[in-house]
């Protein structure tokens, strides 16, 4: 078995026909997942990446597909595509934004689909107390997990930037500790388990954040930084590739760069990361 030298980690937020920030269309996402299937790539889970970073071998052409936040369109449009191609993804979930209710229809099930607003409209809905209109429900999370299309990890409980909201470092640390504790407790209560994988809200972290998160039980930290993930990668600085709504070969080219340490390092150096 040819072994992986580096693991690309893809970052998605929305898969929706509604154009907007951090969004790819259902057609683009289908194209991405079909390309992986057609070109011999294997989608892995967070524990697989952790094992690789700890020195265990993974097959060449292994990739971790991640989603941030937990928007409804992840269930409506991404879930059926992952199921169609036998792929799986990780969803870093804002646990405080997830509510209860019946499972809603997803693309291809033969029923009318719920609206999936663009990113700004989703943010406004959450701010207005209408998160259920734009976020997945626990029932959908459970259904996706049972289907094997998604695994779920922490993206904090509130997605708050405590460094901006708190007047003192002590308050920031206390608020973050409480937020992470609530996220872990919620995942444990709703899914029966919680992992040591954490994705930073808006990609922000500092020394206080890392110290508090480590004390809370997290060890693997996911950023929004462009970086190669090799055996030398710090567990506290896992890089991800921001995906784009393009079907012109960009997807395959980026994966080719981020699986080859020498070529990828040269690319990042030339681009200034």
Residue range 95-101: mean pLDDT, rounded: 98
- Whether 207 is covered by a domain: the verdict is yes
Residues 122, 20: contact at Cβ < 8 Å? Answer: no
- The pLDDT assigned to 181 comes to 98
- Whether 120 is covered by a domain: the verdict is yes
Any idea what the CATH number is for the domain that residue 232 is in?
Answer: 3.20.20.370
- The pLDDT assigned to 87 comes to 98
* Residues 225-259: tens digit of each pLDDT: 999 999 999 999 999 999 999 999 999 999 999 99
Quote the DSSP letter at residue 78. I
- The pLDDT assigned to 219 comes to 98
pLDDT band at 93 (very low <50, low <70, confident <90, very high): very high
* Residues 114-156: tens digit of each pLDDT: 999 999 999 999 999 999 999 999 999 999 999 999 999 999 9
Q: How many domains does the chain have?
A: 1
Q: CA–CA separation, 181 vs 11, rounded Å? A: 25
pLDDT surpasses 90 at 105: yes
Q: Helix 261-271 crosses helix 250-258 at what angle (to 10 degrees)?
A: 110
Compute the mean pLDDT over every residue in the chain, rounded to the nearest whole number: 97
Check the CA dihedral 227-229-235-239 and report its sign.
positive
- The pLDDT assigned to 271 comes to 83
The parent domain of residue 33 ranges over: 9-271
- Whether 1 is covered by a domain: the verdict is no
pLDDT band at 165 (very low <50, low <70, confident <90, very high): very high
- Whether 78 is covered by a domain: the verdict is yes
Nearest Cα neighbor of 149 from 241, 252, 57, 77 is: 77
Beta strands per DSSP E along the chain:
9-12, 14-15, 23-24, 42-43, 62-69, 89-93, 150-154, 197-199, 220-222, 241-242
pLDDT surpasses 70 at 173: yes
* Residues 16-69: tens digit of each pLDDT: 999 999 999 999 999 999 999 999 999 999 999 999 999 999 999 999 999 999
Q: What angle is formed at CA 183 by the lines to CA 133 and CA 8, rounded to 5 degrees?
A: 85
- The pLDDT assigned to 273 comes to 52
Higher-pLDDT residue of 1 and 247 is 247
Give 199's strand partners: 222
- Whether 230 is covered by a domain: the verdict is yes
- Whether 3 is covered by a domain: the verdict is no
For a pLDDT cut of 70, what percent of the chain falls above it? 99
Helices (H) and strands (E) in the chain, counts: 11, 10
* Residues 177-222: tens digit of each pLDDT: 999 999 999 999 999 999 999 999 999 999 999 999 999 999 999 9
Higher-pLDDT residue of 272 and 242 is 242
- Whether 4 is covered by a domain: the verdict is no
């Amino acid at each position: 078995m040819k072994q992986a030298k580096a693991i690309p980690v893809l970052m998605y937020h929305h898969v929706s026909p509604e154009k907007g920030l951090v969004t790819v269309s259902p057609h683009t996402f289908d194209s991405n997942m079909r390309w992986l299937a057609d070109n011999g790539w294997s989608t892995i889970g967070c524990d697989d990446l952790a094992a690789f970073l700890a020195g265990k071998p993974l097959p060449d052409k292994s990739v971790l597909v991640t989603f941030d936040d937990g928007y409804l369109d992840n269930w409506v449009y991404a879930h059926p595509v992952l199921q169609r191609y036998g792929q799986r993804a990780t969803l870093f979930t804002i646990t405080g934004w997830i509510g209860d209710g019946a499972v809603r229809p997803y693309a291809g099930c033969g029923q009318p689909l719920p609206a999936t607003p663009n990113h700004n409209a989703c943010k406004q809905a959450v701010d207005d107390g209408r998160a259920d209109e734009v976020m997945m429900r626990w029932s959908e999370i459970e259904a996706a997990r049972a289907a094997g299309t998604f695994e779920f990890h922490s993206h904090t409980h509130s997605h708050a930037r405590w460094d901006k909201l708190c007047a003192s470092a002590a308050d920031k640390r206390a608020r973050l500790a409480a937020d992470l504790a609530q996220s872990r407790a919620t995942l444990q209560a709703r899914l029966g388990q919680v992992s040591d994988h954490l994705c930073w809200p808006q990609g922000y972290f500092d020394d206080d954040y890392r110290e508090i998160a480590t004390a809370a039980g997290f060890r693997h930290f996911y950023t929004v930084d462009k970086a190669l993930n090799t055996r030398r990668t710090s567990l506290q600085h896992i890089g991800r590739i921001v995906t784009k709504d393009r079907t012109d070969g960009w997807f395959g080219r980026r994966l080719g760069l981020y699986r080859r340490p020498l070529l990828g390092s040269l690319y990042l150096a030339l681009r200034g990361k």
